[in-house]
Amino acid sequence: MTVTPSRHAEISGAGFAGLTAAIALARRGWSVRVHERADQLREQGAGIVLWHNTLKVLEDFGLIDEINAGSMTPPFYETRVQNKIVSDEGMPGIWWRTMTRPFLHSVLAGAARREGVEIVAGSEVVGATEEGVIRLASGAELEADLVVGADGVGSSVRDSLGIDYERQRSRDGISRFLVPRRKADLQKIEPGTDWDNMIDFWNFDPRVLRVLYTPANDRELYLALMAPADDVEGSAVPIDLDVWTSIHPQLTPVLEEAAKVEGKYFGYQTTRLEEWTRGRVALVGDAAHAMCPALAQGGGCAMANAYTLAQAASDAPLSELPDALVEWERLERPYTDRCQTRSQHYADTRGMSQGNQFVGENNETTLYDPTDPHRHDVA
Ligand code: 5PR
């Protein structure tokens, strides 16, 4: 590991991308400050699936025991159409874990603090310059060798630099909830099912309403409810319990739980930037490459790219850091570009309903190892 103690990074955003960049930089000897706009440092989201690409990063950070203790691997990734099973994927050889977002966030925030990262809540970064200066909402300016914009799909860091982007939208969208497992009650309705699988329940007739059922640990279930944006009742939050239970009656106990929870409907979209870096500033996560969640790689790409960004920035002489960032984007971005394209395709075609999707080129991102120093070697 290269130790470069005189380097300083300012990071905007204490989500998964920002915290991963912070940990990876601090472990390479940087002093790191992370600014979080929210008054409290916590993750609002529901559940997440992590694959090999992210788990390798967490393993490098020494966090796998902690992750394993609060997460699970469902036996199968099952897909059903009109409640008929169309595939049960055991995914041999693929390392994957399901968990809640608040849990992953607390593991990363704890690790960042142990690595000496300063995390400032209630601190909003409103802009950055390519020379490496960030501007706070308070008017204060702070200088850094590297600025990381991990400030989400509405990134102020990106927009202050005038980096152009395209946004592609899809007709469907999703609302997400964390609810109690209610396994015993689900088993009363469908006794033959052990309810530990991840199950993607699609219904097209009489109505396009999909429930992605993801056990996150012994106690908590992550539910993602998909509906077309133009379905006013289907996309309403709090959810319309009668509509959802009429289409997915076997899930009534957990849909009742979801109906009690606040949430928000998000339309599927992909954001593609003209460039991910400008001078001493690099963008990661949804600020750079927001994607449709079909292949469950938004967080994975965010964390993998944050990790490789820290590597690239640490390996370069400070005077050459802007060039090193350009080279980082050249090497790493194509994986994310392809993942965005595939995920948008599945969102547009509703193709995940066919099952057996976790094979072949769809696993390119999943199986990527950002910690492998030889990953870009030409065979
Ligand atoms: N897969 C996962 C997921 O959380 C969602 C989707 C697919 C793990 C929703 O966020 O296609 O919407 C999806």
Per residue in 216-235, pLDDT tens?
999 999 999 999 999 999 99
* Ligand 1, atom 8: closest residue by C-alpha: 296
Closest approach atom of ligand 1 to CA 346: 11
pLDDT of residue 43: 80
Which residue is it, tokens 């997400």?
176
From 212, 342, 352, 354, give the residue whose CB has the most ligand 1 atoms within 8 Å, as the site to mutate.
Answer: 212
With 90 as the cut, is the pLDDT of residue 6 above it? no
* Ligand 1, atom 10: closest residue by C-alpha: 293
Closest approach atom of ligand 1 to CA 176: 10
Superfamily for 8-52+98-167+269-367? FAD/NAD(P)-binding domain (3.50.50.60)
Closest approach atom of ligand 1 to CA 172: 12
* Ligand 1, atom 7: closest residue by C-alpha: 294
ipTM: 0.97
* Ligand 1, atom 9: closest residue by C-alpha: 293
Identify which of 252, 145, 220, 212 has the alpha carbon closest to the alpha carbon of residue 353.
212
Rounded to the nearest angstrom, the distance between the alpha carbon of 224 and the centre of ligand 1 is 7
- Residues contacting 77, CB < 8 A, separation 6+: 88, 89, 91, 197, 198, 200, 358
Instruction: Report the sign of the C-alpha dihedral through residues 252, 254, 258, 259, in that order.
Output: positive
With 90 as the cut, is the pLDDT of residue 330 above it? yes
Please, where are the H alpha helices in the chain? 16-27, 52-60, 64-69, 101-114, 156-160, 183-189, 241-247, 252-259, 286-289, 298-315, 321-349, 364-367
Closest approach atom of ligand 1 to CA 198: 8
Rounded to the nearest angstrom, the distance between the alpha carbon of 176 and the centre of ligand 1 is 9
For 130-134, 285-289, 373-377, which range has the lowest pLDDT when averaged over its residues? 373-377
Identify which of 306, 212, 217 has the alpha carbon closest to the alpha carbon of residue 254.
212
Which residue is it, tokens 């984007």?
329
Closest approach atom of ligand 1 to CA 224: 9
* pLDDT tens digits, one per residue of 119-155: 999 999 999 999 999 999 999 999 999 999 999 999 9
Rounded to the nearest angstrom, the distance between the alpha carbon of 227 and the centre of ligand 1 is 12
Residue type, 303: M
Confidence at 378, pLDDT banded by 50, 70, 90 = confident
Q: Phi, psi at residue 28, to the nearest 5°?
A: -100, 15
With 80 as the cut, is the pLDDT of residue 379 above it? no
With 50 as the cut, is the pLDDT of residue 179 above it? yes
With 50 as the cut, is the pLDDT of residue 178 above it? yes
The 10 Å Cβ neighbour count of residue 335 is 20
* Ligand 1, atom 13: closest residue by C-alpha: 294
Rounded to the nearest angstrom, the distance between the alpha carbon of 200 and the centre of ligand 1 is 9
Instruction: Report the sign of the C-alpha dihedral through residues 29, 35, 39, 45, in that order.
Output: negative
Tokens standing for 150? Answer: 């991990």
Rounded to the nearest angstrom, the distance between the alpha carbon of 343 and the centre of ligand 1 is 10
User: How distant, in Å, are the alpha carbons of 102, 190, 196, 364, 370 from that of 109?
Assistant: 10, 39, 28, 28, 21
**Which residues form the pocket of ligand 1, taking CB atoms under 6 Å from any ligand atom?**
49, 174, 176, 212, 224, 226, 293-294, 296, 352
pLDDT of residue 3: 53
Rounded to the nearest angstrom, the distance between the alpha carbon of 267 and the centre of ligand 1 is 12
pLDDT of residue 42: 81
Rounded to the nearest angstrom, the distance between the alpha carbon of 77 and the centre of ligand 1 is 12
* pLDDT tens digits, one per residue of 26-43: 999 999 999 999 998 888
Mean pLDDT of 66-85: 98
* pLDDT tens digits, one per residue of 80-114: 999 999 999 999 999 999 999 999 999 999 999 99
Closest approach atom of ligand 1 to CA 352: 11
**% residues pLDDT > 90 (the chain):** 96
Rounded to the nearest angstrom, the distance between the alpha carbon of 48 and the centre of ligand 1 is 8
With 50 as the cut, is the pLDDT of residue 4 above it? no
Rounded to the nearest angstrom, the distance between the alpha carbon of 11 and the centre of ligand 1 is 27
Mean pLDDT of 47-65: 98
Rounded to the nearest angstrom, the distance between the alpha carbon of 30 and the centre of ligand 1 is 35
Rounded to the nearest angstrom, the distance between the alpha carbon of 157 and the centre of ligand 1 is 27
With 60 as the cut, is the pLDDT of residue 298 above it? yes
**% residues pLDDT > 70 (the chain):** 98
Question: By the 8 A CB rule, do 221 and 254 touch?
Answer: yes
* Ligand 1, atom 11: closest residue by C-alpha: 294
Mean pLDDT of 63-69: 98
From 174, 200, 269, give the residue whose CB has the most ligand 1 atoms within 8 Å, as the site to mutate.
Answer: 174
Rounded to the nearest angstrom, the distance between the alpha carbon of 300 and the centre of ligand 1 is 13
Domain ranges of the chain: 8-52+98-167+269-367
